[in-house]
């Protein structure tokens, strides 16, 4: 099929075997790639025993899925997925960088990893030459060292094998840090130091498979497309649209550090006890003037360059390097911990990235611990001597290290906010869930609901099949623009949501047609691949297990905190209306074709030709 | 990008003395008088790789499919990379007159340039990345 290579690389780490597999063409037509196609593949293989599969066991699958847009559409991304150790469902998490582009140039549409290697390995792909290399030397290294060591080693291999190849560019890499190696649930799959597939916790899945990294170099062209002239012209259109976005190009999401606090009042402050601050010290101009060393950085083909590089060159936090930081890290490793200076934020962001922890999930668990300490539930002795006061960057840094290395209290917190609340709750004899701001085990992104001024919606997290994922929220009506069906398209194509501001919403379907030659309409996706992927992900989420399962009646809801009135700011006193949420959730069930228990109905699944999903759901109906 | 953040183009800088042309055993390389760019005569090129060795920046490479040497030919005087860079407003790539500058100075292996750029951006910390 045009726009695709027509083969996947299947890797079984248990017996070090590789093979090329094909995915049925009608799946590819229906689900296009990335998250949706992964949902079809993984459910086909694992749904029958889903509730017994340990996400951190060898039986889990780990998929690396670019989509038909990757490499062509400006700002290409790769979807990383599998059974999530955070939600026990399937979460499609996308990461920027050149990995997907190189993989498609190497001749693959994706990688499916199963099993577990005996000792640490990394996968090295040069076109169709695939091998597992010993990673003992790299295991244990932080992300910046890992990047350097892999670059050196891979380029040396390439230079030796292809002496006339000139000087090789670095291969594209995805890797994990010490947190992933220790199966810390809030850990990420990293690219280029600062990019990460965060939601879902796939760093821990890589770690559980003893897979430190994947490096790929593709020398072939991208798969042939249906109408190259049209594709070129459309790429140009996207770029021109992006160039008009002057402020976005200058500041990226970094403007949020002040805006989401002061203006929309939806930023986590001290573990969401407040959602408002008016700290001008946290304005993006302060970041630009004090810590940026490069004002424009982007991945291959990106016209937006919303990345900027920050580095602390002197003083207490010397040597800290990160990108912007982007808004989520600004929030979770800033106001969420009571910190309001660019330097402290860059220091913690750099550390979190070195450890391979997730900025959002990791920041959330740090904030959770901070609140327990504030309330006297966790003591200095519990924390191994840390005086975890709000606003103490060093204290939170020490705790982050403990989490990444599972040291002391870190071993409990390494299970993520929700699971840590259950364990600590038992130890302390208290219900600690009211202090967790999560959806289905996934900490909610830094866009609160109470002020109603942000893009997030009342049932955005409660009904999402990816829990607290702020990039995969949903809303009523299901066929409206706020619905999760469209985020499924983004994660399947796979495209970046920050390059397309000045493009019409239906542009993507024309682009899909220019690439693949297949026609697809908004409505086609709404009743086809997008809708089916939503049902599959919902089924997997409800099947859950083995350690946690979700009860839709209880868990299709917002965290308790969002029902408490905002204590400060322009929206003081506002809270989410519980009755309205209940009503909307049941309306959403209706529109999504789910029964009273929030489960996709048999009739619907059969109509969608998803009988196998229906059969697997029988045991929990 | 051997170190994240230090992207730069690694291309032919048109050395005044053209060591690649001098070294080619098959006389497959020539200078375009109008642009000073090195032009590869693919009929004569055998892909032996001698020019890679001769180049101070190790810029040429053998194309994996055609097995012939590839060197930037400045798009016959209208470099497309410069055009798109200007369109995007980055202003990193520009057309310049040859003048009296010593262009050979800029022909360097990527490790060297990356190290210098990383030091500029990250200070002492850059040493850990090489």
Smallest CA–CA distance, residue B96 to chain A, in Å, is 23
Over the stretch B106-124, which tens digit does the pLDDT of each residue have? 999 999 999 999 999 999 9
A246 → chain B, closest CA residue: B89
**pLDDT at A163 (0 to 100):** 87
Quote the minimal CA–CA distance from B58 to chain A in Å.
6
Q: What is the pTM of this model?
A: 0.97
Distance to chain B for A243, nearest Cα, Å: 6
Chain A residues near residue B7 by CB distance under 8 angstroms? 297
Contact: B122, A297; criterion CB under 8 Å: no
Chain A and chain B share a number of CB contacts under 8 A equal to: 77
Q: Is ipTM strictly over 0.90?
A: yes
Cβ of B62 within 8 Å of Cβ of A166? The answer is: yes
Whether A167 sits inside 8 A of B110 (CB atoms) is yes
Helices (H), A315-453: 327-332, 342-355, 359-374, 393-404, 410-413, 417-428
Q: Given a cut of 80, is residue B1 above it in pLDDT?
A: no
| Per-domain boundaries in chain B | 19-129
SS3 A400: helix
Second CATH level (architecture) for the domain B19-129: 2-Layer Sandwich (3.30)
- Residue B96: predicted pLDDT: 86
Q: Supply the CATH classification number for the domain A8-217.
A: 3.60.9.10
Contacts of B60 in chain A (CB under 8 A): 166
Record: contact B122-A151, CB cut-off 8 A:
no
Q: Do B52 and A164 touch (CB under 8 A)?
A: yes
Q: Which residues 296-335 on chain A approach chain B with CB closer than 8 angstroms?
A: 296-297, 303, 305, 309, 311, 313, 318-319, 321
pLDDT along chain A (621 residues), means of 10: 97 98 97 98 98 98 98 95 98 97 98 98 97 98 97 96 91 98 98 97 98 97 98 97 94 92 97 97 96 95 95 96 96 98 98 98 98 98 98 98 98 98 98 98 98 96 98 96 96 94 91 98 96 98 97 98 98 98 98 97 98 97 91
Task: Using CA coordinates, name the residue in chain A closest to B92.
Answer: A296
Q: Do B125 and A148 touch (CB under 8 A)?
A: no
Of A219, A243, A318, the CB nearest to B88: A243
User: In terms of CA atoms, which chain B residue is nearest residue A193?
Assistant: B4
A179: Cβ–Cβ under 8 A, 6 or more apart, which residues?
A186, A187, A188, A203, A204, A207, A355, A356, A357, A362, A403, A404, A414
Query: Quick one: pLDDT at residue A470?
Result: 97
Task: Report CB contact under 8 Å: B129, A144.
Answer: yes
Of all residues in chain A, the one with the smallest CA distance to B9 is A169
Query: In 3D, which of B113, B1, B3, B93 has the Cα closest to residue A311?
Result: B3
H helical segments located in A209-334: 228-243, 246-251, 256-262, 284-290, 327-332
What pLDDT does A290 receive? 96
- Taking the Cβ of residue A163 and every Cβ of chain B, the question of whether any pair is shorter than 8 Å is answered with yes
pLDDT of A423 reads 98
Close Cβ partners of A117 (under 8 Å, ≥ 6 residues apart): A13, A14, A16, A132, A209, A210, A211
């Amino acid at each position: 099929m045009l726009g695709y290579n027509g083969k996947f690389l299947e890797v079984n780490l248990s017996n070090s075997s590789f093979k090329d597999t094909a995915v049925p063409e009608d799946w590819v037509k229906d689900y296009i790639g990335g998250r949706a196609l992964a949902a079809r593949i993984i459910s086909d293989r694992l749904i029958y025993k889903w509730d017994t599969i340990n996400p951190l066991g060898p039986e889990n699958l780990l998929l690396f899925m670019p989509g038909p847009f990757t490499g062509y559409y400006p700002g290409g991304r790769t979807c990383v997925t599998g059974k999530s150790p955070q939600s026990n469902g399937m979460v499609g998490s996308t990461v920027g960088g050149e990995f997907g582009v190189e993989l498609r140039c190497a001749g693959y549409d994706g990688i499916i990893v199963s099993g577990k290697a005996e000792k640490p390995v990394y996968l090295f792909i040069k076109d169709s030459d695939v091998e597992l290399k010993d990673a003992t030397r790299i295991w244990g290294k932080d992300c910046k060292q890992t990047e350097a060591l892999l670059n050196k080693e891979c380029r040396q291999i390439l230079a030796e094998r292809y002496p006339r190849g000139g000087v090789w560019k670095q291969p594209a890499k995805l890797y994990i840090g010490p947190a992933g190696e220790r199966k810390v649930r809030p850990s990420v799959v990293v690219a280029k130091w600062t990019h990460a597939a965060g939601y879902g916790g796939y760093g821990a899945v890589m770690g559980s498979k003893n897979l430190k990294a994947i490096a790929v170099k593709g020398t072939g062209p991208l798969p042939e497309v249906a109408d190259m002239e049209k594709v070129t012209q459309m790429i140009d259109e996207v770029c021109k649209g992006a160039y008009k976005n002057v402020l976005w190009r200058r500041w990226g999401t970094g403007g949020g550090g002040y805006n989401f606090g002061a203006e929309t009042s939806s930023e986590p402050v001290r573990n969401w006890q407040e959602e408002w601050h008016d700290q001008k010290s946290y304005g993006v101009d302060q970041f630009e003037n004090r810590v940026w060393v490069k004002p424009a950085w982007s991945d291959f083909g990106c016209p937006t360059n919303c990345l900027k590089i920050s580095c602390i060159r002197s003083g207490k936090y010397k040597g800290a390097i990160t990108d912007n930081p982007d808004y989520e890290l600004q929030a979770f490793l800033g106001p969420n911990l009571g910190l309001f200076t660019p330097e402290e934020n860059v220091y913690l962001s750099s550390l979190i990235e070195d450890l391979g922890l997730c900025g959002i999930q990791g920041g959330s668990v740090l904030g959770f611990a901070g609140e327990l300490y504030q309330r006297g539930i966790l003591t200095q002795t519990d924390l191994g001597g840390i005086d975890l006061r709000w606003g103490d960057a060093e204290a939170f840094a020490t705790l982050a290290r403990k989490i990444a290395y599972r040291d002391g209290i870190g071993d409990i917190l390494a299970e993520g906010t929700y699971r840590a609340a259950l364990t600590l709750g038992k130890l302390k004899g208290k219900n600690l869930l009211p202090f967790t701001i999560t959806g289905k085990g996934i900490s909610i992104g830094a866009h609160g609901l109470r002020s109603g001024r942000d893009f997030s919606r009342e049932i955005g997290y409660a009904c999402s099949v990816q829990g607290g994922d702020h990039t995969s929220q949903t809303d009523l009506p299901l066929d409206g623009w706020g619905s999760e069906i469209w985020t499924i398209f983004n994660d399947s194509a796979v495209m970046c949501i920050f390059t397309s501001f000045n493009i019409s919403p239906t542009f993507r379907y024309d682009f899909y047609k220019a690439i693949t030659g297949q026609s697809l309409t908004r409505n086609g996706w709404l009743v086809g691949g997008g809708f089916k992927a939503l049902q599959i992900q919902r089924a997997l989420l409800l099947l859950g297990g083995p350690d946690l399962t979700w009860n839709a009646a209880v868990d299709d809801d917002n965290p308790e905190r969002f029902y408490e009135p905002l204590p400060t700011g322009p929206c003081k006193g506002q809270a989410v209306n519980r009755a309205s949420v209940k009503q909307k959730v049941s309306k959403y069930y209706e529109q999504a074709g789910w029964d009273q228990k929030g489960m996709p109905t048999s009739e619907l699944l059969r109509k969608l030709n998803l009988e196998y999903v229906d059969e697997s759901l029988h045991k929990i109906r | 990008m051997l170190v994240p953040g230090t992207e730069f183009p690694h291309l032919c800088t048109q050395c005044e003395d053209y060591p690649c042309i001098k070294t080619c055993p098959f006389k497959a390389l020539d200078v375009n008088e109008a642009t000073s760019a090195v032009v590869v005569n693919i009929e004569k090129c055998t892909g032996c790789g001698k020019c890679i060795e001769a180049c101070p920046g190790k810029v040429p490479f053998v194309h994996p499919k055609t097995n012939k040497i590839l060197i930037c030919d400045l798009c016959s005087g209208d470099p497309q990379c410069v055009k798109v860079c200007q369109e995007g407003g980055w202003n990193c790539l520009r057309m310049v007159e040859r003048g009296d500058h010593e262009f050979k100075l800029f022909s360097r292996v990527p490790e060297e340039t990356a190290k210098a750029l990383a030091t500029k951006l990250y200070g002492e910390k850059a040493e850990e990345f090489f």
